[in-house]
């Protein structure tokens, strides 16, 4: 292990240009500094200093060692301020589970009111519904956002509420939206490529029933578990796709997507599930209070 006291003495000698001036700065004997530098040279296996006039200079190896020492001790000089700053800033942790099937754009919108919280440390964990509820019951999560409420289970001691029920609108890249408008919406979904969530999503079940009620067979070219990934592929021209109106503002982050049609008959429900002992988390309460009326 590198002895940083030896390195510090060497660094001071290099900055001062000699042992005498370094000893004066450090308030120790010249012999002490000389011995410490010799120990460092022995540890590194190279001579670091050489006589230059009445003082000392750096060898090539010494220049490399001095440059690294300069970085190390400059970082060290900033350490007290960094520690003090961190101690003054109160960290507010929020651990959120996102069920696989829900719209990530809508989830982002629901979390939006707390994202500006000073000192926020947000952890988002995406996974399947049942394992997320298990983590919530074990206090490993503060909140789960899912497409369905928690099933009755007194052992889990969970509380769930429908947080929002948002209509689903359809968006797509300009070339497919323009092509689709040649036919009436939603009949045009049989004529243009369509991207859908996979069957594990509650929204997919709702969409399938809607298609069946309309006797509509959409031209499906892609299915995605991750709704955010689905929107990225749509923005790259693969097809049109449904998105919760709650998350539609974030669609604007993806250039080239346009509104194809609004669909009041299909809604995406998102439920907020929390542990009874953890439901008083201030940021969880803020999310619940800020959500649009379900």
How far is Cα of residue 68 from the mean position of the Cα atoms in its chain?
A: 33
Query: Is 164:291 a contact under the CB 8 Å cutoff?
Result: yes
In the chain, DSSP finds a helix count (H) and a strand count (E) of 11, 10
Q: How many CA atoms lie within 13 A of 222 on its CB side?
A: 21
59 and 175 in a single domain? The answer is: no
How far is Cα of residue 231 from the mean position of the Cα atoms in its chain?
A: 18
Query: Is 116:109 a contact under the CB 8 Å cutoff?
Result: no
CATH number at residue 76: 1.10.10.10
Interstrand relation of 92-99 and 143-146 (parallel, antiparallel or unpaired): parallel
The domain boundary residue, chosen from 60, 88, 116: 88
Backbone angles phi, psi at 274, to 5 degrees: -145, 160
155 and 196 in a single domain? The answer is: no
Query: Is 225:196 a contact under the CB 8 Å cutoff?
Result: no
User: Bridge-partner residues for 267, per DSSP?
Assistant: 167
77 and 123 in a single domain? The answer is: no
The domain boundary residue, chosen from 46, 67, 88: 88
pLDDT of residue 20: 92
62 and 154 in a single domain? The answer is: no
Range of the domain at 236: 165-268
pLDDT of residue 294: 54
pLDDT of residue 254: 65
264 and 170 in a single domain? The answer is: yes
DSSP 89-142: SPPEEEEEEEETTS-HHHHHHHHGGGTT-TTEEEEEEEE-HHHHHHHHHTTS-S
Q: What is the pTM of this model?
A: 0.65
| Ordered per-residue pLDDT tens for the chain, 294 residues | 789 999 999 999 999 989 999 999 999 999 999 999 999 999 999 999 998 888 899 999 999 999 999 999 999 888 888 888 777 767 788 999 998 878 888 888 899 999 999 889 999 998 888 899 989 988 899 999 998 888 887 777 888 889 899 999 999 998 999 888 888 899 999 999 999 999 888 889 999 999 999 999 999 999 998 888 888 899 889 999 998 888 777 666 667 788 899 989 999 999 999 987 767 899 999 999 988 765
The helix/strand/coil state of 147 is coil
114 and 244 in a single domain? The answer is: no
172 and 253 in a single domain? The answer is: yes
User: Bridge-partner residues for 241, per DSSP?
Assistant: 171
Domains in the chain, number: 3
For residue 20, what are the CA distances in angstroms to 17, 31, 41, 148, 165?
Answer: 9, 10, 19, 76, 77
113 and 176 in a single domain? The answer is: no
| Cis bond before residue 186 (omega within 30° of 0) | yes
Query: Is 196:204 a contact under the CB 8 Å cutoff?
Result: yes
CATH number at residue 237: 3.40.190.10
Query: Is 200:101 a contact under the CB 8 Å cutoff?
Result: yes
Please give the Cα distance from 71 to 75 (Å, whole number).
6
DSSP 156-212: T-EEEEEEEEEEEEEEEEHHHHHHHTTS-TTGGGGTSEEEEE-TTSHHHHHHHHHHH
User: The tokens of 244 are what?
Assistant: 């919760």
The domain boundary residue, chosen from 51, 68, 88: 88
113 and 153 in a single domain? The answer is: yes
214 and 226 in a single domain? The answer is: yes
219 and 281 in a single domain? The answer is: no
């Amino acid at each position: 292990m590198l002895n940083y006291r030896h390195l510090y003495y060497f660094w001071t000698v290099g900055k001062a240009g000699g042992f005498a001036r370094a000893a004066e700065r450090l308030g120790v004997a010249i012999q002490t500094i000389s011995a410490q530098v010799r120990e460092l040279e022995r540890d590194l296996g190279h001579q670091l200093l050489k006589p230059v006039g009445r003082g000392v200079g750096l060898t090539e190896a010494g220049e490399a060692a001095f440059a690294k020492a300069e970085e190390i001790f400059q970082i060290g000089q900033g350490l007290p301020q960094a520690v003090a700053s961190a101690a003054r800033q109160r960290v507010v942790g929020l651990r959120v589970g996102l069920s696989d099937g829900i719209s990530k754009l809508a989830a982002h919108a629901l979390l939006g009111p707390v994202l500006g919280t000073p000192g926020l440390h947000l952890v988002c964990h995406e996974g399947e519904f049942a394992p997320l509820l298990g983590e919530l019951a074990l206090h490993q999560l503060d909140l789960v956002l899912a497409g369905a409420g928690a099933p009755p289970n007194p052992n889990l001691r969970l509380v769930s509420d429908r947080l929002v029920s948002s209509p689903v609108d359809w968006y797509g890249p300009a070339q497919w939206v323009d092509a689709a408008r040649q036919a009436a919406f939603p009949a045009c979904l049989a004529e243009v490529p369509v991207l859908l969530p996979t069957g594990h999503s509650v929204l997919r079940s709702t969409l399938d029933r809607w298609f069946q009620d309309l006797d509509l067979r959409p031209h499906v070219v892609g299915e995605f578990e991750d709704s955010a990934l689905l929107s990225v592929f749509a923005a790259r021209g693969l097809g049109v796709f449904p998105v919760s109106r709650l998350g539609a503002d974030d669609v604007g982050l993806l250039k080239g997507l346009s509104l194809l049609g609004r669909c009041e008959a299909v809604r995406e429900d998102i439920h907020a599930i929390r542990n009874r002992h953890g439901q008083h988390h201030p940021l969880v309460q803020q999310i619940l209070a800020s959500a649009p009326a379900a």
